[in-house]
Amino acid sequence: MTSNAVEASNLKKAFGEKQVLQDMSFGVSPGDVIGVLGKNGAGKTTLLELMLGFTAPTAGAVRIFGHESYSLPGDIKARVGFVPQQDELLDQLTVADQLRVIASFYPRWDSELIDRLCSEWGVNVNARIKSMSVGERQKLSILLAFGHKPELLILDEPVASLDPIARRQFLEQLLTLSTDEKRAIVFSSHIVSDIERLANRIWILKEGRLDWQGDLDSLKESIVRLHIRGAGPELPAFKIPGVLNVRRDGAFATAVVRDWTPEAQEALEKSASVQIEVETLGLEEIFVELHR
């Protein structure tokens, strides 16, 4: 029996001729908070919905708590929470009714937690869902995913419709949840600062592939900007390993590189007789450089 919350191997998904996801293998362990980054159409939603068994992979497999995601048994589903990109609320009900309906599906539902969050987040339980704004509906969707204290929480762009205050409250709650070492969280977002603040591991999707997966610190150590200075008036010709982008200007050059190591730096300094200064990049800069 595996200890990972999620495991995927050689995962592929195609819609007709279009390959959306290609050869993905990954694992999500309890305690992981994974931020999924990718441009529009990179396959984030498809990946998350594949993990939840909404759709079948074209090839490969995803397993949640050791079970094939496409045919999850009920006890495993009770350990999973999901916030969809577009809410699936019932317009004609009140918030209280909607909460009651969803709570009835779970053997463990923390009403106290939900009552407290409703009050803190300013969700009016007597309001009819039809009359709520998009942001209020999103708050309710998030509450519905928290109520049964899932061990695996998957969120597809959960903060897209929230105002800054609601976003902060949501992130605080997610931080509280993430301190539980048994819980794994996977969330996608375009707000890189949120991912940087919350995630301890990053997945970067590019053209249907996992271009990077690893912890945030490794990513920041791996993709860096080099400031290169030559001894003479012009830089000699040299090749930078793993270069993503380079700009030369007389005796100076700046380059963004991936998979950078101190050994590579030492080797380059010796072979090209240059001095190299390494600048660490923020996650947003890394994301932009990877997609340049």
Residues that bind another protein (CB under 8 A): 46, 49, 52-56, 71-75, 77, 80, 82, 86-88, 90-93, 97, 100-102, 104-106, 128, 130, 134
State in angstroms the smallest separation of the CB of 151 from another protein.
13
Three-class DSSP category at 291: coil
State in angstroms the smallest separation of the CB of 98 from another protein.
9
Spatial contact of 39 and 65, defined as CB atoms under 8 Å apart: no
Nearer to another protein (CB atom), residue 145 or residue 171: 145
Nearer to another protein (CB atom), residue 56 or residue 231: 56
State in angstroms the smallest separation of the CB of 290 from another protein.
26
Nearer to another protein (CB atom), residue 58 or residue 254: 58
Q: What are phi and psi of 132, to 5 degrees?
A: -90, 150
State in angstroms the smallest separation of the CB of 156 from another protein.
11
Distance set, CA 123 to CA 72, 82, 127, 142 (Å): 32, 19, 8, 11
Nearer to another protein (CB atom), residue 126 or residue 176: 126
Q: How far apart are CA 30 and CA 176, in angstroms?
A: 15
List, in sequence order, every beta strand (DSSP E) within the chain.
6-15, 18-28, 33-38, 59-64, 67-68, 80-83, 152-156, 184-188, 201-206, 209-215, 224-230, 243-249, 252-257, 274-280
Nearer to another protein (CB atom), residue 128 or residue 248: 128
State in angstroms the smallest separation of the CB of 94 from another protein.
8
